[in-house]
Copies of this chain bind each other. A is one copy, B any other.
């Protein structure tokens, strides 16, 4: 119906969000127009603002509004350690532990041949240049422990080791606070192999 053109356009636009199908998009559009028009305007402004302002840190490639992000700019961070993570969310998780005081490189993705995502798409060349700056001594691979995260760590690790860098990987093992009885077998087997 032509008298709902802008509603239809909104529903189509909402479907570009990951995980949002036609039903969810309808529900979101109806909700905003019926109950939260101010929220719709805020979201509209926030989208334009973020697209205009957010770019990638020249050093670690995470999202930032500056040339270089706050973490890379922080002189108290240990420049000899570089942690490689998949996403800013993973970086935030590592930061919350308070256990790492080095620098980061954020891949903004992971190798995924089936989706056509190769080393170039995750900035592998930029990572190698970053890691070979003469200051970094250890690269800690902190990609996820999924099939794709492991493959990413493997490929990146090989490339970095061949350039003489020390490359380590986050330890696999039994999660803190868990009872062996309820931990999956693969995790226990890894914890046994990696015992210290």
Contacts and interface: CB of A to CB of B under 8 A. Distances in A.
Contacts of A26: 89
A27 B18 contact: yes
Tallying the copies of this chain within the complex gives: 2
A186 interface: no
A111 to B, nearest CB: 15
Interface residues of A, number: 57
A77 interface: no
A35 to B, nearest CB: 9
Main secondary structure of the interface of A (DSSP, over half): helix
A115 to B, nearest CB: 11
Interface stretch (A37-45, A132-140, A157-165, A166-174): A37-45
Interface string A41-52: 111111111111
Contacts of A14: 43, 46
Interface of A: 1-7, 9-10, 12-14, 16-19, 23-24, 26-34, 36-37, 39-54, 63-66, 69-71, 87-89, 108-109
